[in-house]
Amino acid sequence: MRPKLLLILFALILIATISVSLILYFNYKKQAVQHQIVYETPAIETIRNSMPKTTAMNIKLLFGSDERPVLMLEERQITTGEKLPEQCYDTIMELIKGPASEKLYPTIPQDTKVNSLFITEQGSVFIDFSNEIVTNHTGGTDEELLTVYSIVNTIMMNFPQIKKVQILINER
């Protein structure tokens, strides 16, 4: 083939590749923005103080074990609200309280607060923790991984309708 024909062919392939890439990129951005909150979550203060807790629920919590770095299961019965965000919130609060067993240890500092929690219709839960989860954490790579896994796996074990867990710290 002639060099001129090869150059034209290369230019056409390049234009087609760029066009397909742009189409896929903008389609992805459009889908990413379409997250809608399916559960209207009352303010955290409302959940804490005034909503009636009428539903008994058995939950599974994951805490650190003396056999580090391993998470161990602790089951507990709690009284919570009827809606999924309230149940997720109360479950996380039980995780923050720490274990009942002396052989286990908490993975989240006890002075950590949940600033907000919401769930999208796609099944993603966003949990925004206060800065204490970082500043008062014991530290170390293994301990940080245990914290993340204990939060994510506790939510996923107890709420099969949740598909993803996003952890935020002061809205970041």
* pLDDT tens digits along 54-113: 889 999 999 999 876 789 999 999 999 888 999 999 999 999 999 999 999 999 999 999
Do 69 and 120 lie in one domain? The reply is yes
Do 17 and 69 lie in one domain? The reply is no
Distance CA 124, CA 117 (A): 10
Kindly state the greatest CA–CA separation across the chain.
80
Do 84 and 19 lie in one domain? The reply is no
Distance CA 100, CA 94 (A): 10
Locus of tokens 């993603």: 124
Do 74 and 120 lie in one domain? The reply is yes
Do 64 and 99 lie in one domain? The reply is yes
Locus of tokens 């103080």: 49
- What Cα–Cα distance (Å) separates residue 133 from each residue in 17, 38, 43? 45, 27, 20
Do 15 and 52 lie in one domain? The reply is no
Sequence-ordered list of residues with C-beta below 8 angstroms from that of 161, at least 6 positions apart, any chain: 84, 123
Contact 114, 91 (CB under 8 A): no
Distance CA 103, CA 38 (A): 39
Do 20 and 102 lie in one domain? The reply is no
Do 157 and 146 lie in one domain? The reply is yes
How many Cβ atoms are within 10 Å of 136's Cβ, its own excluded? 14
Q: How many domains does the chain have?
A: 2
Q: At 172, is the pLDDT very low, low, confident or very high (cuts 50, 70, 90)?
A: confident
Tokens of 133: 């989860």
Q: Which parts of 105-159 fold into alpha helices (H)? A: 132-135, 141-158
Range of the domain at 162: 37-169
Do 2 and 61 lie in one domain? The reply is no
∠ at Cα 38 (36, 42), nearest 5°? 110
Do 78 and 148 lie in one domain? The reply is yes
Do 60 and 117 lie in one domain? The reply is yes
* Confidence (pLDDT) at 124: 93
- Report helix, strand or coil for 35: coil
* Confidence (pLDDT) at 41: 52
Do 29 and 97 lie in one domain? The reply is no
Could you tell me what percent of the chain has a pLDDT over 90?
Answer: 51
* Confidence (pLDDT) at 21: 77
